[in-house]
Amino acid sequence: MNVDSKNHRFPFCIVWTPIPLISWLFPFIGHMGIGTSRGIIRDFAGSYFVSEDEMGFGWPTSYWQLSPLKVDGGAEVWDRAIKEASDEYRSHMHNICCDNCHSHVALALNSMRYDGKANWNMVNLCFFTLIKGRNTGIGGFLKQCLPFLLIISFIVIFLFVTRI
């Protein structure tokens, strides 16, 4: 199944969207979810709440599509792992630093043993999503990068003007 960003369908994908204010200052920090085999996004959006098909901070601006061939059992195991991770996280208190949306995605990937691994975590998910992720289009790119670039531009202009 192909990604259809216009209809918000991201099969076998890890998806990412910026968190207002936080991502504007630190563009590598954002909100993460995972798409089922049908492309429906699940994300741990807050304490005791896993959203389905409506991300906590808006639709994805980038995605990293994974291969179902790297899961023993394919789509069925992929979907079951996401369901189990979501059921588990419905009983979790959200903690922005250590038990968050990235942890929810990591649990799903570890449960399905994606790519033969069970050591997915917040750090490697963030790294690979930033490195291997693709923007959903020009709008996604702007939503993701423009606030940070504007802030940096204002700082540079301010520093330049105050030195004269």
| Per-residue model confidence as pLDDT tens digits over 9-28 | 999 999 999 999 999 999 88
Q: Which residues pair with 164 in a beta bridge?
A: none
Beta-carbon contacts of 96 under 8 Å, excluding residues fewer than 6 positions away, are: none
Cβ neighbours, 10 Å, residue 134? 14
Residue 144, pLDDT score: 87
How many degrees, rounded to 5, is the angle at CA 105 between CA 100 and CA 108? 130
Domains in the chain, number: 1
Return the percentage of the chain with pLDDT > 90, whole number.
83
Return the percentage of the chain with pLDDT > 70, whole number.
99
| Helix ranges, 64-137 (H) | 74-89, 101-112, 122-132
Residue 101, pLDDT score: 96
Q: What is the pLDDT of residues 125-150, one digit of tens each?
A: 999 999 999 999 998 888 888 889 99
pLDDT of 153 over the 80 cut: yes
* Domain of 96, in residue numbers: 5-162
